[in-house]
Structure formats: C-alpha cells, structure tokens
Copies of this chain bind each other. A is one copy, B any other.
C-alpha cells in the first residue's frame, strides 16, 4: 500500500522500517531530518498525506496529533475521501473520538491503534496493538498491523483502542507498585529476596510485573524497557479519562502521584521499575 508515516521517534522509526520491509511504499515525515532506507522523506505532514492510501502517525502526545492533523502544513487537508488514517500514538480517547468525527466529514476513516511492547517490540515487529474504529477499516489495515505487531486486538468503535490501552496502563502501573512495595517490605524485613520472588510468583499474588520487573529490581537493573516518563504520561491520560467519566480512581491517583515524584527526582529516563528508587 501507499503509506504516509509521520513521526520517526524511538518507536516510529522501527515501525516504519518494518512496513518498508513488508514491501509497502512509504513517504515519511519528522520534525527532524531523518531517513529510512527505501522510503522518501518529506518535511511537511501534508506532503506525507497527499495521494496515500493510509496515513499513520506515531507521536508523543495529544497536542502533537492535533497539530499534525489540523495545524499549519497539516495532514488532514491533504487526505482524500477513502484514505484511512491510523494514529498509533497513545493519546486521549476523548480527543481521539473528536479527531475521528472531524475526519469522517471529509470521508476519511480513522483508526486509533496504540501499541505496547516498547522499542524492542517495535524493532522485532512483536508489538501488541489495540485498535478502535470501524471493523471494515481494521480489516483493510490488518496486514499493516501484522507487519508491526504480533498481538493485534480489535477493541471496538472509535476510541476503544485508546481506552483499552489506558486500562492496560492503569492496571500495569498498580501491579508494578505492588511489586515495588512488596520488595521494599521483603528487603527491609531481611527476607531472602530470591526466595520471596519465587514463592510469591507461584501464587495468587503473582503477576507479569512481579516476575519480570521484580527480578530486575532484585538484580539492581533499572535500565529502561519502558521509561518512567512515558509511564507517567500514560497515567496522566488515564487519570484525565477517569475524571472525564466521573469515576473515583484512588489507585491511579496514587500511581500518577508516585510516578510524577519519580520524574521530579530525575528518574524519567530510567525503566519504570526504578519507581523502587523513589524511596532510596
């Protein structure tokens, strides 16, 4: 397919490269001059959107997506009826539904398709991708998702991909806090940490976070799989979304507060398991 790809960051770059690898015709666009072998680079989002079957964006936050779509030199004006626009950034579900409505007026179908799996998953093409929007557009774009990820979930109507991503991030952050707090208690009380890791993982308190990041904490490995600053951003989005729904969310309020403290302590570029170091 003829694809425009906007946003060549630590995630977007390998995702776009995997699409080229899969044989697609790519035009790429980034604020910085970056190129991918086999793809043509342009400076303005509108030039990455013109005469393309599918336009994909992978951007830091909600205002960036708004700018790329509707700002100066923006992409929306260059999309024609029948273009599918896929936003793979993790951004506000409410803003996403608004973007989709505005684009539908000009005959453009939008999919929200945030990912998880980090830059390693992006490079290996093993991302988890949660997709919201029309089922027809999803089916049409499935080969593209399969070039970038290995666990593709159709989550439902527009915004559902972003909503599912925020559920996932809120749950994961609390599981991580659980692992951090449990290991702090174990360490301070003089237990053998390897024994605790193994005993807890076998039972009702087991989790992916405990097994994977707990063992990194015990090994003193605070390198980034998923960075503190991104976890904090996702929790901000989750918290905003809880508020928009009028829900009391004490767990997410707490993890947002703690990850914000970790960011302020200068741990932003460390792995999210470095939440442990907030108490050092």
Interface residues of A (CB under 8 A from B): 93, 116-117, 128, 130, 151, 153-156, 160, 163-164, 166-175, 177-179, 181-182, 184-186, 188-192, 195-196, 198-200, 202-210, 212, 226, 238, 241-242, 245, 247-252, 254, 258, 279
**Contact between chains at A185 and B254 (CB < 8 Å):** no
**Contact between chains at A167 and B116 (CB < 8 Å):** no
**Contact between chains at B172 and A204 (CB < 8 Å):** yes
A200, B186: Cα distance in complex, Å: 28
Q: How many copies of this kind of chain does the complex include?
A: 2
Chain B residues positioned under 8 Å from A128 (CB to CB) = 199, 202-203
**Contact between chains at B195 and A245 (CB < 8 Å):** no
Beyond A195-B155, A204-B209, is A164–B186 a contact (Cβ under 8 Å)? yes
**Contact between chains at B207 and A191 (CB < 8 Å):** no
Known contacts A163-B186, A175-B205, then 20 further A-B pairs from the complex at CB < 8 Å, ordered by chain A residue: A155-B191, A156-B195, A160-B191, A164-B186, A164-B191, A170-B185, A171-B181, A171-B200, A172-B205, A175-B175, A175-B207, A185-B238, A185-B241, A185-B242, A189-B241, A204-B209, A205-B209, A206-B208, A207-B209, A207-B210
**Contact between chains at B254 and A251 (CB < 8 Å):** yes
**Contact between chains at B186 and A181 (CB < 8 Å):** no
**Contact between chains at B208 and A203 (CB < 8 Å):** yes
- A184: contacting residue among B166, B174, B206, B247, CB under 8 A: B247
Nearest residue in B to A247 (C-beta to C-beta)? B188
Nearest residue in B to A206 (C-beta to C-beta)? B208
**Contact between chains at A186 and B208 (CB < 8 Å):** no
**Contact between chains at B130 and A199 (CB < 8 Å):** yes
Nearest residue in B to A252 (C-beta to C-beta)? B181
Chain B residues positioned under 8 Å from A249 (CB to CB) = 181, 184-185
Nearest residue in B to A198 (C-beta to C-beta)? B153
Chain B residues positioned under 8 Å from A188 (CB to CB) = 245, 247
Q: Give chain B nearest CB distance to A154 CB in angstroms.
A: 8
- Nearest 5 interchain pairs by C-beta: A174-B178, A207-B207, A172-B205, A171-B182, A171-B205
Chain B residues positioned under 8 Å from A209 (CB to CB) = 204-205, 207
List 27 interface pairs A-B (beta carbons < 8 Å), by A numbering: A116-B203, A116-B204, A117-B203, A128-B202, A151-B203, A153-B199, A164-B191, A164-B199, A164-B200, A168-B182, A168-B205, A170-B181, A170-B182, A171-B205, A172-B203, A172-B204, A174-B181, A178-B178, A178-B251, A184-B249, A189-B245, A203-B208, A204-B212, A206-B208, A247-B279, A250-B254, A251-B254
A166, B186: Cα distance in complex, Å: 9
**Contact between chains at B205 and A191 (CB < 8 Å):** no
